[in-house]
Amino acid sequence: MRVYEIMDGVKKYRFGSPISTDAIVLEGYEIDNEKPRYLTIENNKDLKLKYKMAVKDQVFGLGENQKGINKRGGVFEAYCSDDAVHTPDKKSLYGAHNFLIIHGAQKFGVFIDYPGRVKFDIGFTHRDELEIIIDDKNLDLYIIDGDSLREIVNKFLKIIGKSYVPPKWAFGFQQCRWSYVDAEEVEGVADSFIKYDIPCDSIYLDIDYMEDFKDFTVSKERFPDFKNFVKGIKNKGFRLIPIIDAGVKIEEDYDIYEEGIENEYFCVGKDGSPFVAAVWPGKVHFPDFLNKDARKWFGYKYKVLTDCGIEGFWNDMNEPAIFYTERGISEAIGFVEKSKNKNLNIYSFFQLTDCFEGLSNNDKDYKSFYHNMNGKLVNHDRIHNLYGYNMTRAAAEGFKEIDSNKRFLIFSRASYVGMHRYGGIWTGDNHSWWEHILLNMKMMPSLNMCGFLYSGADTGGFSGDANAQLVIRWTQFSLFTPLFRNHSAMGTRKQEPYAFDIESVDILRETIRLRYALLPYIYSEYMKAVREQDVYFAPLLFEYEDKYSKHVENQLLVGGSLMIAPIYEENALARHVWLPEEMLLWKVVSYDERVLEVMDRGHHFIDIDINEIPLFIRKNKMIILGNHANNVEKLETLEMNIVAFVDNRATYTYYDDDGMTYDFKQGAYSEIIIDIEKIDEDYKINIHNNGNKHVKKMNFDIVDMSGNITKKSVKI
Ligand code: GLC
The atom of ligand 1 lying closest to the CA of 428 is 8
- CA 434 to each of CA 193, 383, 570, 615: distance values in angstroms, whole numbers, following the listed order: 26, 35, 7, 21
413 CB within 6 A, ligand 1: yes
Query: How far apart, in whole angstroms, are the C-alpha atoms of residue 276 and residue 286?
Result: 8
| Residue 66 host element (H or E) | none
Query: Which band of pLDDT confidence, cut at 50, 70 and 90, is reported for residue 111?
Result: very high
205 CB within 6 A, ligand 1: no
245 CB within 6 A, ligand 1: no
**Neighbouring-strand partners of residue 77:** 119
Report pLDDT digits (tens) over 58-91. 999 999 999 999 999 999 999 999 999 999 999 9
173 CA to middle of ligand 1, Å?
19
User: Residue 49 pLDDT more than 90?
Assistant: yes
Query: How far apart, in whole angstroms, are the C-alpha atoms of residue 656 and residue 168?
Result: 10
DSSP 3-state assignment of 236? coil
206 CB within 6 A, ligand 1: yes
Pocket test for ligand 1, best of 205, 241, 243, 391 (most atoms within 8 A of CB): 243
172 CB within 6 A, ligand 1: no
Mean pLDDT along residues 384-401: 98
Residues in the chain: 716
Residue 274: asked if its preceding bond is cis (omega within 30°), the reply is no
329 CA to middle of ligand 1, Å?
23
The CA-CA-CA angle for residues 177, 178, 179, to 5°, reads 90
- CA-nearest residue for atom 5, ligand 1, is 178
121 CB within 6 A, ligand 1: no
120 CB within 6 A, ligand 1: no
Pocket test for ligand 1, best of 206, 208, 425 (most atoms within 8 A of CB): 206
316 CB within 6 A, ligand 1: yes
Report pLDDT digits (tens) over 89-103. 999 999 999 999 999
243 CB within 6 A, ligand 1: yes
Report pLDDT digits (tens) over 394-406. 999 999 999 999 9
Report pLDDT digits (tens) over 305-338. 999 999 999 999 999 999 999 999 999 999 999 9
The atom of ligand 1 lying closest to the CA of 317 is 1
Query: How far apart, in whole angstroms, are the C-alpha atoms of residue 530 and residue 511?
Result: 26
DSSP state of 520: H
Query: How far apart, in whole angstroms, are the C-alpha atoms of residue 348 and residue 109?
Result: 46
Name the CA dihedral angle for 498, 503, 508, 511, rounded to a multiple of 10 degrees.
160
pLDDT for the residue numbered 45: 85
Mean pLDDT along residues 121-147: 97
249 CA to middle of ligand 1, Å?
17
288 CB within 6 A, ligand 1: no
657 CB within 6 A, ligand 1: no
Pocket test for ligand 1, best of 317, 322, 411, 490 (most atoms within 8 A of CB): 317
**Neighbouring-strand partners of residue 661:** 406
Helices (H), 422-501: 435-449, 468-478
Pocket test for ligand 1, best of 85, 93, 178, 425 (most atoms within 8 A of CB): 178
pLDDT for the residue numbered 135: 86
Name the CA dihedral angle for 132, 110, 103, 558, rounded to a multiple of 10 degrees.
-120
DSSP 3-state assignment of 221? coil
The 3 state secondary structure assigned to 322-337 is CCECHHHHHHHHHHHH
279 CB within 6 A, ligand 1: no
DSSP 3-state assignment of 423? coil
CA atoms within 13 Å, Cβ hemisphere of 592: 7
5 CA to middle of ligand 1, Å?
42
Residue type, position 191, single letter: D
Mean pLDDT along residues 252-278: 98
- CA-nearest residue for atom 3, ligand 1, is 429
Query: Which band of pLDDT confidence, cut at 50, 70 and 90, is reported for residue 593?
Result: very high
213 CB within 6 A, ligand 1: no
178 CB within 6 A, ligand 1: yes
The atom of ligand 1 lying closest to the CA of 177 is 10
178 CA to middle of ligand 1, Å?
7
Q: Which of 6-15, 346-355, 457-466, 547-556 has the lowest mean pLDDT?
A: 346-355
316 CA to middle of ligand 1, Å?
7
Mean pLDDT along residues 267-285: 98
| Residue 97 host element (H or E) | none
Q: How far apart are the first and last CA of the chain?
A: 59
Query: How far apart, in whole angstroms, are the C-alpha atoms of residue 160 and residue 155?
Result: 9
Query: Which band of pLDDT confidence, cut at 50, 70 and 90, is reported for residue 681?
Result: confident
What is the residue-averaged pLDDT of the chain? 97
69 CA to middle of ligand 1, Å?
26
9 CA to middle of ligand 1, Å?
41
Report the candidate in 395, 375, 372 with the shortest Cα–Cα distance to residue 383: 372
Burial of 124 (0-12, 13-18, 19+ CB in 10 A): middle
Query: How far apart, in whole angstroms, are the C-alpha atoms of residue 223 and residue 186?
Result: 10
pLDDT for the residue numbered 633: 97
User: Residue 598 pLDDT more than 90?
Assistant: yes
